[in-house]
């Protein structure tokens, strides 16, 4: 196919991901007519339609489905050539696409970005906050270079690098301060506030409570940890949050917090990236920065032992 360009492949990849010409064009920072023209030219070079055009969204044809698989392999190889060149230059520079899960992003990113600015003056960081499944997919398809998530991921194509472990803490109404910390079985009988489905933190909390599903009357969902904590302050129920979130999320909420007896609920925060990424050595430097930031975030708000509880603010 003489005349095929990388630009056309990237535009086709965007269209396959967004399944909509307008959204794909926005993601590529071009106009919708310009994107449509490039796709038509690509189809002309291929000699057959790659997409089925509908009013609300497009669908890939059978050829389009096969074509996008090979397209993404080509784009991944091109990106890795770029990363190989960057690795040979020494210190991290240029673009770094970093993804972070929502239950870590607000508590780590401000300090991480400050540290990056001090250590890597020529590094341009592009951030994405999303749930684990979406970040992993973006890593595998080379739309991200690195992601900070809760481990393990157990994806053969990705390398996992553990950074630190943190406990989950109990957040409950202020009148419960000083009461015994409930057992996992007791939590099942309480109104437990959890994040919406799709968040790995939700699954980890339910696992500690030994409950795959909670009765709708006993469970309420929120879109963020901040929402959950504010709901607890209003006396609606109790929730679990990661230790690094305490300082920020309890600042404006009248709640009581307490540790669980050992072994309590916890998670391991780590970084993941493609095993084929030539920047592995440089990414380890980033790991050292994130590890230090995470330790500081957890130490900012020390808690009493599990036998007691502390009222906030």
Question: The domain that contains 32 carries what CATH number?
Answer: 1.10.10.10
Of the candidates 280, 193, 192, 225, which has an alpha carbon nearest to the alpha carbon of residue 104? 225
Q: What's the CA gap between 60 and 68, in Å, rounded?
A: 9
Which of 84, 105, 137 terminates a domain? The answer is 84
Which of 54, 84, 114 terminates a domain? The answer is 84
- Asked whether residue 178 is assigned to any structural domain, the reply reads yes
Mean of per-residue pLDDT scores for the chain: 85
- Asked whether residue 1 is assigned to any structural domain, the reply reads no
Shared domain check, 20 and 149: no
Instruction: List pLDDT tens digits, range 51-88.
Output: 998 777 889 999 999 999 889 888 888 877 776 666 55
Instruction: List pLDDT tens digits, range 269-278.
Output: 999 999 988 7
Which of 50, 84, 118 terminates a domain? The answer is 84
Shared domain check, 222 and 184: yes
- E strand or H helix at 219: strand 219-222
SS3 72: helix
Instruction: List pLDDT tens digits, range 196-238.
Output: 877 888 888 888 876 545 444 456 788 899 999 999 999 999 9
Cα 195 to its chain centre, rounded Å, is 14
Cβ burial of 163 (10 Å; 0-12, 13-18, 19+) is buried
Range of the domain at 29: 6-84
Place 258 in a pLDDT band, splitting at 50, 70 and 90.
very high
Number of domains, the chain: 3
Q: What's the CA gap between 295 and 301, in Å, rounded?
A: 11
Shared domain check, 275 and 261: no
SS3 content of the chain, % helix, strand, coil (to 5): 45, 20, 35
Shared domain check, 278 and 250: no
Shared domain check, 103 and 250: no
The CATH number of the domain holding residue 102 is 3.40.190.10
The tokens of 179 are what? 């009461």
pTM of the model: 0.74
Cβ burial of 83 (10 Å; 0-12, 13-18, 19+) is buried
Contact 91, 264 (CB under 8 A): no
């Amino acid at each position: 196919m003489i005349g095929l360009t990388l630009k056309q492949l990237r535009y086709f990849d965007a269209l396959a991901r967004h399944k909509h010409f307008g959204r794909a064009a926005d993601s590529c920072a071009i106009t919708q007519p310009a994107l449509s023209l490039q796709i038509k030219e690509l189809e002309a070079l291929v000699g057959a339609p790659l997409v089925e055009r509908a009013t609300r969204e497009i669908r890939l044809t059978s050829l389009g489905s096969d074509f996008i698989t090979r397209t993404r392999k080509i784009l991944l190889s091109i990106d890795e050539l770029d990363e190989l060149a960057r690795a040979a230059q020494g210190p991290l520079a240029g673009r770094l696409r970093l993804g972070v899960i929502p239950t870590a992003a607000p508590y780590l990113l401000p300090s991480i970005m400050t540290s990056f600015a001090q250590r890597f003056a020529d590094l341009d960081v592009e951030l994405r906050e999303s749930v684990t499944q979406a970040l992993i997919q973006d890593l595998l398809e080379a739309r991200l270079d690195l992601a900070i998530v809760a481990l393990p991921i157990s994806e053969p194509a990705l390398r996992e690098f553990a950074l630190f472990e943190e406990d989950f803490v109990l957040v409950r109404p202020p009148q419960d301060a000083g009461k015994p910390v409930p057992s996992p079985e007791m939590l099942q009988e309480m109104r437990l506030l959890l994040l919406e489905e799709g968040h790995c933190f939700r699954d980890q909390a339910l696992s500690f409570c030994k409950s795959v599903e909670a009765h709708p009357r006993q469970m309420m969902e929120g879109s963020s940890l901040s929402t959950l904590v504010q709901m607890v302050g209003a006396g609606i129920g109790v929730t679990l949050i990661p230790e690094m979130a305490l300082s920020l999320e309890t600042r404006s909420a009248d709640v009581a917090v307490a540790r669980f007896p050992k072994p309590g609920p916890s998670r391991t925060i780590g970084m993941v990236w493609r095993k084929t990424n030539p920047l592995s050595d440089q990414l380890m430097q980033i790991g050292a920065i994130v590890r230090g930031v995470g330790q500081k975030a957890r130490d900012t708000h020390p808690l009493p032992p599990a036998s007691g509880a502390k009222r906030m603010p």
